[in-house]
Amino acid sequence: MIERRYGAFLFVLWVALSFAVAPGRAQSSEDIGALNKQVDELVQRGNYTEATVLALRALAAVERQLGPDNQDVALHLSKVARLYEYRGLYDDAEPLRKRALATMEQALGPDHLGVAGSKEMLARLYRIQRRYADAEQLLKGALATREKVVGLEGVGVCQSLGQLAVLHETRGVYADAEPYRTRCLAISWRRRWVEIARISARACMSWPGYTESWVGQRRPRRTAAPWPSWARTIPKQFWRRSMRVNTRRLRGRSVWAAWRV
């Protein structure tokens, strides 16, 4: 009997404590959100000093709530570092950038796009401080991470290539920046033509009397379904001209002309 009463007492105590702690957590989350909103408003007004104070308070609250090795802590560290950079306090921003990078690596692993972004932000700070060797090492690591995760021509690879080019241009070594600019331009053009091909495929599948079977071939192949009677009365030249006008892309060259190559 005593053991049952003791067990019931412990259960009631656990339920009471859970309900007592939950509002506190919700309140702390609301406070962090309100602080971040105030920081954004102060940044828009250009009041970086007060924004830094509130951002440090939000950072401390996030650390108390989630622990020091959480991804959100790294994001708040980057926000405080950015405010220091706005004020020109680069020496104060550097340890925060380093800690944010270490936290992201511990929370997400070394092969993550968030880690690549943290490396690029620290490299940007090093470039401002004229520490070009350290910045180049970080940017090459970020480029390798992006190529490993999204591929050699994936989204974000041009971002790392562009930052490497800017780094060499800042140093005045334009010959070293040229390969990165050339590769980024080639990736951009190829991605643009791939998008044109997708637009072409969607457009041709919407035509009456055609199917997906001819996509990628030299000529469209007609199915057994005939054209409507009202469409057969319109000259073919009008159809071709309207499609050429409506699907014009990329410096005046039409998708219809690309299909007929």
Is 192 among the domain residues? yes
Same domain, yes or no: 127 and 75: no
Residue 107, token pair as written in the block: 């929370």
Same domain, yes or no: 139 and 202: yes
Is 222 among the domain residues? no
Q: What is the rounded average pLDDT of the residues 237-247?
A: 50
CA distance 24 to 21: 5
Of the three residues 108, 131, 156, the one that is the final residue of a domain is: 108
pLDDT at 25 over 80: no
CA distance 211 to 223: 7
pLDDT at 87 over 90: yes
Query: What are the beta bridge partners of residue 248?
Result: 254
Give the chain's length.
261
Which residue type is seen at 74? A
Is 193 among the domain residues? yes
* Weakest mean pLDDT among 104-113, 128-137, 195-204: 195-204
Same domain, yes or no: 124 and 169: yes
Judged by DSSP in three states, 254 sits in strand
Is 217 among the domain residues? no
Is 225 among the domain residues? no
Angle at 40 between CA 39 and CA 43, to 5 degrees: 85
Contacts of 182 (CB under 8 A, 6+ apart): none
Same domain, yes or no: 96 and 113: no
**C-alpha atoms less than 13 angstroms from C-alpha of 259 in its C-beta half-sphere:** 20
Same domain, yes or no: 54 and 95: yes
Residue 204, token pair as written in the block: 């041709």
Same domain, yes or no: 124 and 195: yes
> Dihedral of the CA atoms 55, 59, 62, 67 (nearest 10)?
170
pTM of the model: 0.65
pLDDT at 97 over 70: yes
pLDDT at 139 over 90: yes
Same domain, yes or no: 47 and 97: yes
Domain of residue 120: give its range.
109-206
| More confident position, 236 or 35 | 35
Same domain, yes or no: 50 and 104: yes
Is 246 among the domain residues? no
Q: Domains in the chain: how many in total?
A: 2
Of the three residues 79, 108, 137, the one that is the final residue of a domain is: 108
- With bands split at pLDDT 50, 70 and 90, how would you rate the model's confidence at 211? very low
pLDDT at 39 over 60: yes
* Per-residue CA distances from 48 to 51, 83, 84 (Å): 5, 6, 8
Classify 151 in phi/psi space as left (phi over 0), alpha (psi -120 to 50) or beta. left
Is 260 among the domain residues? no
